[in-house]
Chains A and B, each alone.
Chain A
């Protein structure tokens, strides 16, 4: 009875959202998912507060969310982080509402799949824009299909391309399938923001084609980018499995086995179609090297709402006696999941995929035995332990993504001679984790590709580039040091250099200039601590 109420009661979804927000705030306070891309979301929001016109018409800044977060980012990164989590939490309640409007028996199960997704939680806590893209897409669908406001919903959906480009096809698909009654209002709404933005931008940039000349992302990577040269763009089975589990440990249930299991609404089918397209596209894009897409797992977050809705539909469809075709597809999916699980485990990876497949198979057995409510409970339990057991594939945990931070702190702590001296580093998160007291100010060595991106995507003719660089100069992972101003002779004599292994570093610190200028204190596989060699004219 309690389980039934939890699965159906609208308020339960909001309690779930509140729990998500609370856990997210704690995560933010402990910087567990501190991430350089999340810091970038914060940076753009803060710069929007400082220079709103220039940042709003810099498509790279993800203007819709930068505008929303600007007042909070102006207060500080902690407040920004909390608000970012609350935005993601709100989408959980809205997704339950969408599922309810689509006639789901247990709408809160869909909300749970979203809330307990290790990837969604990590993105929300990290401050990366991927959870914003998902939340705004859900808000648009909610306004349109639950509140029956197609004009307002379409306006919101039209913002999505400027938040997460990879989620943009969903907005387009929803417009294409709009019912005859909604079509005019939806298309009108969808054109409002792009047209107003393009027209006002034309005045600001003094260029009618500004949106094409200064796009939201580089059409192709910087020429000679050493990271791209190393990347072959192919995902391994182990990475793919970890990513899918991080999206949801019940991702196998998001594969429809017949028409009923994917839900009865055209909206849900469209969302699922988008998810399938998205998965194929994002796994292939890194091979083509377009729009700077690499194999970051978080890019796949856009498929999660569709997964959540289909999982909910799939579980309730277990009550229907399967036809032969359904049996074949269902077994094929399970065998496929088992094959992936065994292959990955045999490669030495933790057998989480096998455990998840076993859990999904148990839910199917229970459901097919006529106990669908119990099957829903099995699925809910498996989903709920997601953040504890299936989070390895998020690629957002600070201790995994930036393990060097702990090493750097120890190296700096153990040598008092390095205390109180200005630090120059290419570690973007160092400024956020280093206590202010014993250490000097952290200066961030801006990498060549980062500068290339800002320069390429800003307009030099209306002064935007100059003002954006000026706004950046106050704070970008510390005090930014641009490559053209970064030479040994210009650094303070007591500078401490904290250099993390990165093939891009050679572009801003060529060995022929820097090697002779540095005395290395310690070096490891990832970190070098160095100081300037005493100058002959200024002995210390």
Chain B
């Protein structure tokens, strides 16, 4: 056995093995974007950190078309409520007031189940915060 026949491959083996261990031990989870507090007069004084019907308002962002996306979280689950002025989006929403439409989705994990009654309780609270113009979300 000649050293020249084994040493280069051995060096590659060690380098790759060390590299594999180092990279495998690095956390790869992408950091969550920080919660953004936006001015949303439509939703009263709602802000990131509030609690609605037992759910945390994890983030609030203004989308490109002007709709407000409210990320609700509880335990390891998240979903997003999108509140848009009625008529802003072509799709008919599952909930609406006289002035606003509300969509929901973007569940994390995607197959997480939104508990029974959560939507009803959250929409009721939002209506209360939206004031008299809302006149109550109604289910379409």
- A: residues with CB less than 8 A from B are 321-322, 327, 330-331, 334-335, 337-338, 341-342, 345-346, 348, 350-351, 354-355, 357-358, 361-362, 364-365, 368-370, 403-404, 406-407, 409-410, 413-414, 511, 515-516, 518-528, 530, 533
Q: Which residues of A contact B53 (CB under 8 A)?
A: none
Q: Is the CB of A355 within 8 A of B91?
A: no
Q: Given A355-B20, A365-B13, A414-B114, decide whether A407 and B107 contact each other with a Cβ distance below 8 A.
A: yes
Q: Are A354's CB and B10's CB within 8 A?
A: no
With a CB–CB cut-off of 8 A, which chain A residues contact B4? 327
Interface string of B1-33 (1 = CB under 8 A from A): 110111011101111110110011000100000
Given contacts A369-B1, A403-B110, contact A519 B94 (CB under 8 A): yes
- A511 (CB) vs chain B CBs: closest residue: B90
Sample (5) of A-B pairs whose CB atoms are under 8 Å apart = A350-B23, A355-B20, A369-B6, A410-B112, A526-B110
Most buried by B among A321, A337, A342, A523: A523
Given A357-B16, A368-B6, are A414 and B113 neighbors across the interface (CB < 8 Å)? yes
Tell me, in angstroms, the Cα distance from A407 to B28 when the chains sit together. Answer: 24
A337, A342, A348, A354 pick with most chain B CB within 10 angstroms: A354
Instruction: Provide the residues of chain B in CB contact with A368, threshold 8 Å.
Output: 1, 5-6, 9
Give bound CA distance, A409 to B113, whole Å. 10
The answer, yes or no, to whether B111 is at the interface (CB within 8 Å) is yes
Task: Please give me the residue from chain A that is nearest to B92 by CB atom.
Answer: A519
Choose from B12, B19, B92 the contact partner of A345 (Cβ within 8 Å): B19
Q: Is the CB of A521 within 8 A of B94?
A: yes
Are B90 and A516 touching (Cβ within 8 A)? yes
Shortest Cβ gap from B5 to chain A (Å): 4
Task: Please choose the segment from B34-42, B56-64, B98-106, B123-131 that sits at the chain A interface, where 4 or more of its residues have CB less than 8 A away.
Answer: B98-106
Alpha-carbon separation in the docked complex, A415 to B50 (Å): 27
Separation in Å of the B97 CB from the closest CB of chain A? 15
Residues in B whose Cβ lies below 8 Å from that of A357: 12, 16
Q: Could you tell me if B9 and A361 are in contact, using CB atoms closer than 8 angstroms?
A: yes
Instruction: Supply 14 further A-B pairs (C-beta < 8 A) apart from A520-B91, A523-B106.
Output: A335-B12, A338-B19, A341-B20, A348-B28, A354-B17, A358-B16, A368-B9, A406-B111, A407-B107, A520-B94, A520-B103, A521-B94, A524-B106, A528-B105
Docked pose: A414 CA to B91 CA in angstroms = 21
Contacts of A409 in B (CB 8 A): 111
Q: Does B116 contact A (CB under 8 A)?
A: yes
Residues of A within 8 A of B107 (CB): 407, 410, 524
Instruction: State whether the Cβ of B136 lies closer than 8 Å to any Cβ in chain A.
Output: no
Taking a contact as CB atoms under 8 Å apart, the answer to whether B113 and A370 are in contact is no
Chain A, Cβ-Cβ closest to B140: A519
With A406-B111, A414-B114 known as contacts, the answer to whether A342 contacts B19 (CB < 8 A) is yes
A522 contact from B2, B23, B28, B104, Cβ within 8 A: B104
